[in-house]
């Protein structure tokens, strides 16, 4: 086979010294593959046009509120906002009822666990507050009992108990204790057993004084002997919960 034989595969075309395939391999490798039909990249012009549209549109909305204006509303005379259905009509309690209601909340939170919601106590364990002479006899002994707690034998409404109640003086503010005492003195039939002229109302000021003068740690029933008056303070008008003018 001669060097000029065109079928000789070792012979470079036109006598080139290097192979075209190896010489251009790097350039060929840099080429992106041909896109498949339907998968061609989106033209950058498309992005540019869309970007301009967004920019101009946003500018227009910003400048004109998008055509929104307050002027188009019709003003309705006497329109009132309706309460949310679940809240119901707002309850406005008279001052005394409000005071007692607060007291009931404190009672439920602290005392009802033992003396029960109905004030009847629990046989052999917790004496009743309903029809109890330690409740209706005078607010003084009731305050002493709640502030100091109580221990030792006690007979309430003909039944005997002998246990311990911890003091509550740190658990209750003057106001809360006044509300609580008013509640239990005017509930469960105690209101009917109050002395003539006693409406059962206890004020914050009364509790404040009781704290100052009736601190008896480890109080026993015998310590209550002779304390059957009401705590000192002006008589309160249940209508207004304000002190009544002296007669
Ligand atoms: C953990 C249970 C318990 C709780 C809570 C409790 N007590 Fe008592 N309470 C007793 C016991 C027990 C006695 C009787 C103590 C004794 O045997 O000397 C008593 C006695 C009393 C008495 C005197 C006796 C009577 O029945 O009238 C009063 C008044 C009283 N408690 C009021 C209250 C009030 C008000 C509260 C809430 C601030 C309260 N107690 C919370 C257990 C409790």
Q: What is the pLDDT of residues 103-138, one digit of tens each?
A: 999 999 999 999 999 999 999 999 999 999 999 999
pLDDT digits (tens, 9 = 90+) for 53-109: 999 999 998 888 777 777 766 767 777 777 666 666 677 889 999 999 999 999 999
- Pairwise CA distance, residues 114 & 120, whole Å: 9
What are the backbone dihedrals phi and psi of residue 150, each rounded to the nearest 5 degrees, phi first?
A: -155, 145
Count, residues in the chain:
247
Check if 112 has its Cβ closer than 6 Å to any atom of ligand 1.
no
* Cα 236 to ligand 1 centroid, rounded to whole Å: 26
What spatial distance separates the first Cα and last Cα of the chain, rounded to whole Å?
Answer: 148
Tell me the pLDDT tens digit for each residue of 212-231: 999 999 999 999 999 989 99
Cα angle 204-239-180, degrees, rounded to a multiple of 5? 35
Q: How far is the centre of ligand 1, averaged over its atoms, from the C-alpha of 210 (Å)?
A: 18
> Which atom of ligand 1 is nearest the CA belonging to 162?
17
- As a whole number of angstroms, the distance between CA 181 and CA 111 comes to 11
Whether 228 and 161 have beta carbons less than 8 Å apart is answered as: no
Does residue 1 surpass a pLDDT of 50? no
Joined together, the tokens standing for residue 36 give: 């498949």
Q: Is the CB of 129 under 6 A from ligand 1?
A: yes
**pLDDT of 29 strictly over 70:** yes
Substitution site in 107, 114, 138, 159 for ligand 1 pocket (most atoms within 8 Å of beta carbon)? 114
Ligand 1 geometric centre to CA of 133 (Å)? 13
| Section 207-211 average pLDDT | 95
C-alpha 176 – ligand 1 centre gap (Å): 17
pLDDT band of 38, cuts 50, 70, 90: confident
The CB of 165 under 6 Å from ligand 1? The reply is: yes
Question: Checking phi first, is residue 79 left (phi over 0); if not, alpha (psi -120 to 50) or beta?
Answer: beta
Q: Is the CB of 119 under 6 A from ligand 1?
A: no
Distance between CA atoms of residues 128 and 56, nearest Å: 80
Q: What is the pLDDT of residue 88?
A: 65
């Amino acid at each position: 086979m001669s060097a000029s034989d065109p079928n000789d595969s070792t012979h470079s075309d036109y006598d080139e010294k290097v192979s075209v395939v190896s010489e251009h391999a790097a350039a060929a490798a840099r080429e992106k593959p041909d896109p498949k039909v339907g998968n061609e990249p989106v033209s950058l012009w498309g992005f540019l046009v869309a970007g301009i549209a967004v920019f101009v549109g946003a500018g227009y909305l910003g400048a004109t509120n998008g055509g929104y204006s307050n002027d188009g509303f019709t003003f309705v005379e006497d329109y009132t906002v309706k309460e949310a259905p679940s809240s119901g009509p707002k309850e406005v309690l008279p001052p005394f009822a409000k005071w007692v209601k607060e007291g009931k909340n404190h009672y439920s939170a602290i005392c009802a666990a033992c003396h029960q919601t109905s004030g009847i106590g629990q046989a052999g364990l917790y004496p009743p507050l309903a029809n109890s002479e330690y409740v209706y006899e005078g607010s003084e002994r009731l305050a002493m009992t709640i502030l100091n707690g109580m221990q030792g034998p006690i007979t309430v409404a003909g039944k005997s108990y002998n246990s311990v109640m911890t003091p509550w003086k740190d658990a209750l503010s003057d106001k809360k204790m006044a509300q609580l005492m008013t509640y239990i003195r005017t509930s469960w039939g105690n209101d009917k057993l109050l002395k003539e002229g006693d409406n059962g109302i206890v004020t914050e000021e009364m509790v404040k004084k009781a704290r100052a003068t009736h601190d008896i740690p480890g109080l026993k029933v015998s310590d209550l002997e002779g304390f059957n008056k009401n705590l000192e303070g002006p008589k309160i008008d249940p209508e207004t919960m304000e002190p009544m003018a002296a007669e």
